[in-house]
């Protein structure tokens, strides 16, 4: 079983992530991080070189951090929680994403002038409307998917590199882990869930979307499902010991 959990990087959803991993008890936990970002989240990174990516991406990172602070969180908190909880249950940890700065640079290089111009304008717009967009994602379960499709229309090359190509590469890494482990949890941004699930359609995949986490009733159903499954597994283990 491969359980793919969709997250958002600027809202505090660490507690549900912890609950899922503890009750799934996976053999491996794979996260949408590369070594550089993982070290940065732990506060162990050095300053990045200025010529690696456009200053715009630095502005985007600062903007995300501000949104996270507005939502009483920190960027990537859910990823660190996944790693820490995975270690707690004895799972192998896998960082399955490409180097972030190189990916961003490739995305920028792939965009023609008009697409770059539109993207720069969107960065400025987001400074004023970003929190409203986050709130819409929290309030409307369909808004996140609609936002990605809107981005795909406006910035097709950017989305191709940043979403589609990364889906392919992360899916390939998940397949490698699936050859060694039978119970895997994958924690990625919600925009990647459907693409990765489609790429792994020949395997047994369970999806927990961001909308399932942000909606209390849906989250309660997911919790109950995992809780009941955990009790079934525990009873099976007790039965095996009793037979022995």
**102, 99, 121: which is closest to 53 by C-alpha?**
102
Give the pLDDT confidence of 191-211 residue by residue, as tens digits: 999 999 999 999 999 999 988
DSSP single-letter state for residue 191 = G
Give the pLDDT confidence of 122-166 residue by residue, as tens digits: 776 766 555 555 565 555 557 677 888 888 899 999 999 999 999
- Beta-bridge mates of residue 208: 5
DSSP single-letter state for residue 184 = E
Distance from C-alpha of 32 to C-alpha of 170, rounded to nearest angstrom: 8
CA distances from 186 to 125, 181, 211, 232 (A): 32, 12, 16, 23
Tracing tokens 């995992």 back to the chain, one arrives at 226
Give pTM, 2 decimals: 0.82
pLDDT of residue 9: 73
């Amino acid at each position: 079983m491969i359980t793919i959990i969709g997250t958002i990087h600027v809202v505090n959803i660490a507690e549900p992530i912890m609950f899922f991993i503890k009750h799934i008890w996976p053999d491996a936990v794979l996260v949408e991080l590369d070594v550089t970002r993982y070290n940065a989240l732990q506060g162990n990174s050095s300053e990045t070189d200025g010529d690696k990516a456009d200053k715009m991406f630095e502005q985007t990172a600062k903007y995300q951090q501000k949104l996270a602070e507005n939502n009483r969180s920190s960027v990537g908190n859910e990823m660190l929680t996944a790693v820490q909880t995975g270690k707690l249950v004895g799972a192998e940890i896998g960082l399955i994403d490409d180097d972030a700065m190189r990916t961003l640079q490739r995305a920028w290089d792939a965009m023609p002038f008009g697409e770059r111009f539109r993207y720069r304008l969107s960065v400025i717009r987001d400074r004023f409307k970003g929190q409203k967009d986050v709130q819409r994602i929290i309030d409307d379960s369909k808004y996140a998917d609609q936002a990605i499709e809107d981005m795909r229309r406006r910035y097709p090359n950017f989305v191709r590199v940043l979403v589609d190509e990364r889906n392919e590469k992360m899916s390939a890494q998940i397949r490698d882990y699936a050859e060694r482990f039978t119970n895997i949890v994958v924690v990625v941004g919600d925009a990647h869930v459907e693409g990765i699930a489609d790429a792994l359609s020949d395997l047994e995949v369970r999806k927990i979307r961001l909308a399932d986490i942000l909606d209390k009733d849906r989250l309660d159903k997911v919790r109950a499902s995992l809780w009941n499954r955990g009790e079934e597994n525990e009873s099976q283990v007790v039965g095996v010991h009793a037979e022995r």
